[in-house]
Amino acid sequence: MARRELIDRWRTGSLRTEVLRRLADGSSLRDLELPVADGLLDLRGFPAGGLDSQAATITGVDFRYATLAHAHLEDVRFSGCRFDGADLARAVFTDGSITQCSMVRATLTETLLARTTWQSIDLTGAKMKYFSAERTHFAGCTFPALPKAEFAGCTIEDSSFTGALTETRFLGRAHDSAVLRRVAFTSADVTYPEFDGVDFEDVTFPPGDAMIVVPRNFRAVADRAAELSSSRGDQVGKDLRQFLSRESRRPGLRATAGWATARHVLTDDYQGGEELADFAASTLREAELLIRD
């Protein structure tokens, strides 16, 4: 059945109203004689935009291409569901959980999470601009590109970030804790990511110096690196000091915040960029060790 047919089949009949009621109050869907798709109850293409649901448990449902945009989901527990291609833009999840689910190519633009648990979620290809999570526990998740997303007071473990990070913020300051544990960042395509007050435990970045990372206190590290580079009066030394000054004084960057940049930012934008990138990486590493001691 084509995607348009999956959506259009819900335009008539009373079944839609009954499904919406049960999704809202947590009643079982099993006796509605819904079709089954790949072993899951078939709600593909289902229109549930603006759904208001509380304390529901929803298991084994296929929500592919469904619309849950602007939904308010409080203490709702999803497990074993598929949301591939679904529209979850501006949905709000609080206090509930999503486990063993797929959200491949789903839309989560401006989606908000608070005090939730997301475990074993495949978000490959999802659209997550302005995605925001607060005090949420992620485990076993695969994240795509994250333009201007924010994770505040979150624990993220056994997960991977496979796409570009564009002004993505990982914040721990003003929260009880924020941890990245056994997390891999596999893409060196980063622009102004921010790590502020986040604990790093077994975090890996792309090999070599493809991505230059200062996990915390970047301003202090940058100032020390500028001092260390003062022995070089050539263009490379001058370019590094200018670059560090601009980066460390970027509006909104807190004194405690970490910082990262892709190596290609230096190699592409400066004459002698390869030498500059090597010098930046080694000088920042030395400065970080001195600040830490």
Q: pLDDT value at position 106? A: 98
| Confidence check: pLDDT of 256 > 90 | no
Percent of the chain residues topping a pLDDT of 70: 99
Residue 18 lies in a domain: yes
pLDDT digits (tens, 9 = 90+) for 158-170: 999 999 999 999 9
Q: What is the mean pLDDT of residues 67-72?
A: 98
pLDDT digits (tens, 9 = 90+) for 23-45: 999 999 999 989 999 999 999 99
Q: What is the mean pLDDT of residues 71-97?
A: 98
SS3 state at 155:
strand
Higher-scoring residue by pLDDT: 54, 189: 54
Q: Which of 208, 235, 255 is the last residue of a domain?
A: 208
Q: pLDDT value at position 72? A: 98
For residues 225 and 204, state if they share a domain. no
Residues with Cβ < 8 Å from 103, sequence gap 6 or more? 83, 84, 86, 88, 121, 122, 123, 126
For residues 116 and 235, state if they share a domain. no
Q: What SS3 string covers 51-120?
A: CEEECCEEECEECCCCECCCCEEECCEEECCECCCCECCCCEEECCEEEEEECCCCECCCCEEECCEEEE
Domain containing 223 equals 218-292
| Confidence check: pLDDT of 125 > 80 | yes
| Confidence check: pLDDT of 89 > 80 | yes
Is residue 223 within 8 A of residue 197, CB to CB? The reply is no
Q: pLDDT value at position 118? A: 98
Q: pLDDT value at position 81? A: 98
Tally the domains of the chain: 2
For residues 179 and 274, state if they share a domain. no
For residues 60 and 161, state if they share a domain. yes
Q: pLDDT value at position 261? A: 86
For residues 151 and 35, state if they share a domain. yes
Q: pLDDT value at position 114? A: 97
Residues with Cβ < 8 Å from 274, sequence gap 6 or more? 267
Residue 213 lies in a domain: no
Q: pLDDT value at position 189? A: 87
Provide the β-strand partners of residue 61: 41
Q: pLDDT value at position 131? A: 98
Q: What SS3 string covers 180-209?
A: EEEEEECCCCEECCEEECCEEEEEECCCCC
The length of the chain is 293
Q: pLDDT value at position 209? A: 77
Residue 182 lies in a domain: yes
Q: What is the mean pLDDT of residues 272-276?
A: 93
| Confidence check: pLDDT of 21 > 80 | yes
Is residue 210 within 8 A of residue 189, CB to CB? The reply is no
| Confidence check: pLDDT of 13 > 80 | no
For residues 188 and 236, state if they share a domain. no
| Confidence check: pLDDT of 177 > 90 | no
Q: pLDDT value at position 47? A: 96
Higher-scoring residue by pLDDT: 180, 11: 180
Here the CATH number for the domain that contains residue 172 is 2.160.20.80
Percent of the chain residues topping a pLDDT of 90: 72
pTM for the whole structure: 0.85
Q: pLDDT value at position 219? A: 92
Q: pLDDT value at position 64? A: 97
Q: What is the mean pLDDT of residues 97-122?
A: 98
Angstrom distance (rounded) from CA 161 to CA 194: 14
Average pLDDT taken over every residue of the chain: 92
pLDDT digits (tens, 9 = 90+) for 231-240: 999 999 999 9
| Confidence check: pLDDT of 115 > 90 | yes
Residue 95 lies in a domain: yes
